[in-house]
Amino acid sequence: MTVNIILLGPPGAGKGTQARRLVEERGLVQLSTGDMLREARSSGTEMGKVVAEVMDKGQLVTDEIVVGLIREKLEGSDAPGFIFDGFPRTLKQADALGELLEGLKQNVDVVIEMQVDDTALVERISGRYTCGNCGEVYHDKTKPSAEEGVCDACGSTDLRRRADDNEESLKTRLLEYYKKTSPLIGYYYAKEKLHPVNGLASVDEVAAQMKTALDKL
Ligand code: ADP
Ligand code: AMP
């Protein structure tokens, strides 16, 4: 049986951090549209050029582009399930995901709503850095790498900060979240898929709260 999980929450809520744990613990495949778009940017594809400016401003990329990226990953995959991290972000994307999964005779099984207040988000985003090689997520205060400038997970020295992790862009990203993404909370509640967790808790505690929901599946 496949298991499909959506991680829903504002920028900096901890979606990527928890997704990586689920990959390790359950062998699921992480599908982060943010990572896919950043990859397209750095490899200089036409699509990457189109989306770069939009991403830097903190706005949402078009539904057509992100749904296209997800479709490519789902078609022909034999993964035991997916963790959707940062997708869907609009009602249109949510409908499109439902249709794509239906075509594969699969479902969205659970939507984890990561609840975090805005003050915490600013702190999290301003201290975030990631490994450019393996994607490990760090934070200046709450999770610094053991050796400065070196990734604990893979030893790479390619530790980076994101171009859009600044206060100006974060404001727009939060507005986009409240205007376009937060309606998905009601959408999945009505479908009886929603499982809220306290995203302000420690990484281990959030993982434990998620486990309660996943073990019921
Ligand atoms: P998202 O993918 O939702 O944007 P991330 O997983 O990248 O969020 O986390 C944002 C920042 O917050 C990172 O620097 C990460 O290390 C930190 N972080 C994630 N979860 C927690 C947590 N439960 N407590 C404290 N800091 C966290
Ligand atoms: P993230 O890595 O999830 O924080 O996403 C970084 C940026 O990529 C966002 O601010 C958007 O510009 C873009 N993006 C990522 N996922 C989506 C999506 N599902 N829909 C639209 N834009 C997206």
Among this protein's residues, is 38 annotated catalytic?
A: no
Q: Which of 88, 83, 112 is nearest to 213 (CA)?
A: 112
CB 22 within 8 A of CB 32: no
C-beta of residue 58 within 8 angstroms of C-beta of residue 172: yes
179 half-sphere exposure, CB direction, 13 A CA radius: 8
Tell which one of 15, 54, 60 to mutate to probe ligand 2, the residue whose CB is within 8 A of the most ligand atoms: 60
**pLDDT attached to residue 76:** 82
Q: Which two tokens stand for residue 195?
A: 């499982």
Looking at residue 16, what is its pLDDT? Answer: 98
Catalytic status, residue 161: no
Cα–chain-centroid distance for residue 84? 6
Of 38, 124, 173, 180, the active-site residue reads: 173
Handedness of CA 53, 97, 88, 128 (dihedral sign): negative
Average pLDDT, consecutive stretches of 10 residues, N- to C-terminus, the chain (217 residues) = 94 98 94 96 92 95 98 92 98 98 96 96 96 96 97 98 92 97 98 98 97 92
Give the residue whose CA is nearest to atom 12 of ligand 2: 55
Exposed / middle / buried, residue 119 (Cβ in 10 Å: 0-12, 13-18, 19+): exposed
| CA–centroid distance, residue 99 to ligand 2 (Å) | 21
